[in-house]
Structure 1
């Protein structure tokens, strides 16, 4: 009966609905219609790839990870944004910024290197702005992957403050008169 006949001399029609399919082939055709096309073309079906993890609809933007981490990270980024904007505004008027710093130290000093102050103040302001944006981007990417991220705003602040601090120091050191007043006020 391997010739496809029914035993009474009549030829049996070719199966159309998978009567001779293995259970694996039947499951593959039912679950994945593209497998049917592959099998009809004589190609072995490819193993099923795992579906990507579903994005939790309760979390905006697909953020994952512990709630405590997202709260702390968001708070640090918000505080950093307010601090960054405030610092940028101050640095763009560098002579006043330098004189305010001297007043905090209890020194009456006037910043006179205006050109250098404005250039280095703007550079420090730019560093703060780019530093915050880069920190926010890296934090967002880490949060989307569901990894702990609270440390990124802290590390971003430290790195940004160090680079901006170099710019501020170069501006301050560039004014000999101002530095003489600061150094002269240090007790022996």
Structure 2
């Protein structure tokens, strides 16, 4: 086939530099003059990365999405966590009056048994306040830990549960100690348990 243009026809305009001379190609891609025409003209893939684009930080790899099971459990976990915290707050509000004045609460509890009035009032009040402070402190700690773990998308339902168990153990120990340091109440409890009172 004859690639020569027919007289009177216009030659098609060259595109992408295929009809350019080697000098024009080197000038277009900014190749130094030291490269001779016998050497192959470098293409974009052969050029260093610093000449292809301005330097910029490489973006970090995207985080892998959480499994579907974790995403489905997250609302349930949050609901249980906040529900247990609400139950703990209700328990604190309900027991605040009794723990704040523990001797009066013990007297009211044992009033039907016709026992003597509670004796060690000072020690009973201290034990009641200790129980109340520990109860509130554990609830606040559980609230902070739950907020942090929920913010990170981690399981948190067990935190208020553990805090509630520990708080109830502390309250029971304090209240039990306050009752057992009163001789009349200690003798009554031992009698109800079927054990002889200690001399």
TM over 0.5: yes
Secondary structure of 1:66 counterpart: helix
Secondary structure of 1:162 counterpart: helix
Which runs of structure 2 are paired with 1:84-95 in the superposition (5 Å)? Answer: 84-95=92-103
Q: Distance in 1 between matches of 2:165 and 2:178?
A: 20
The residue aligned with 1:137 is: 144
Q: Kindly tell me: are residues 24 and 101 of structure 1, through their superposed partners in 2, closer, same or farther at Cα, counting changes over 3 Å?
A: farther
Q: What is the CA-CA distance between 1:129 and the residue it aligns to?
A: 0.7
The residue aligned with 2:186 is: 179
Aligned residue pairs total 151
Query: Does structure 1 residue 159 correspond to structure 2 residue 159?
Result: no
Which runs of structure 2 are paired with 1:26-37 in the superposition (5 Å)? Answer: 26=53, 29=54, 35-36=55-56
Secondary structure of 1:112 counterpart: coil
Q: Distance in 1 between matches of 2:51 and 2:194?
A: 87
Q: Distance in 2 between matches of 1:132 and 1:145?
A: 20
Query: Does structure 1 residue 77 correspond to structure 2 residue 106?
Result: no
Query: Which range moved further: 116-125 or 132-141?
Result: 132-141
Find the partner of 1:49 among 60, 69, 78: 60
Q: What is the CA-CA distance between 1:167 and the residue it aligns to?
A: 2.0
Q: Kindly tell me: are residues 96 and 144 of structure 1, through their superposed partners in 2, closer, same or farther at Cα, counting changes over 3 Å?
A: same
Q: Distance in 2 between matches of 1:108 and 1:132?
A: 36
Deviation string 1:13-33 (CA, Å, 9 cap, x unpaired) is xxxxxxx6639953xx4xxxx
Deviation string 1:71-117 (CA, Å, 9 cap, x unpaired) is 121111111101112212210110122234446xx744332210111
Q: Distance in 2 between matches of 1:93 and 1:170?
A: 15
Q: What is the CA-CA distance between 1:146 and the residue it aligns to?
A: 1.1
Q: TM-score, normalised by structure 2?
A: 0.61
Query: Which range moved further: 90-99 or 178-187?
Result: 178-187
